Amino acid sequence: MNLDNYIKKRVKYRIITADTCVYCDKAKKLMENFNIDYEEHNVSNNDIREDFKKQGFKTVPQIWNEKNEHIGGYDDLKSYIYDSQWKHIDGYKGE
- In this predicted model, what pLDDT tens digit does every residue of 25-75 receive, in sequence order? 999 999 998 889 999 999 998 888 998 899 999 999 999 998 899 999 999
pLDDT the model gives residue 11 = 61
Query: d(Cα 35, Cα 66) in Å, to the nearest integer?
Result: 13
Kindly report, residue by residue over 10-24, the tens digit of the pLDDT: 568 999 999 999 999
pLDDT the model gives residue 71 = 97
Is the Cα dihedral 70, 62, 52, 56 positive or negative? positive
pTM: 0.77
pLDDT the model gives residue 82 = 87
pLDDT the model gives residue 84 = 79
Residue 76: pLDDT band by 50, 70, 90 thresholds? very high
pLDDT the model gives residue 87 = 59
From the number of C-beta atoms within 10 Å of its C-beta (0-12, 13-18, 19+), residue 2 rates as exposed
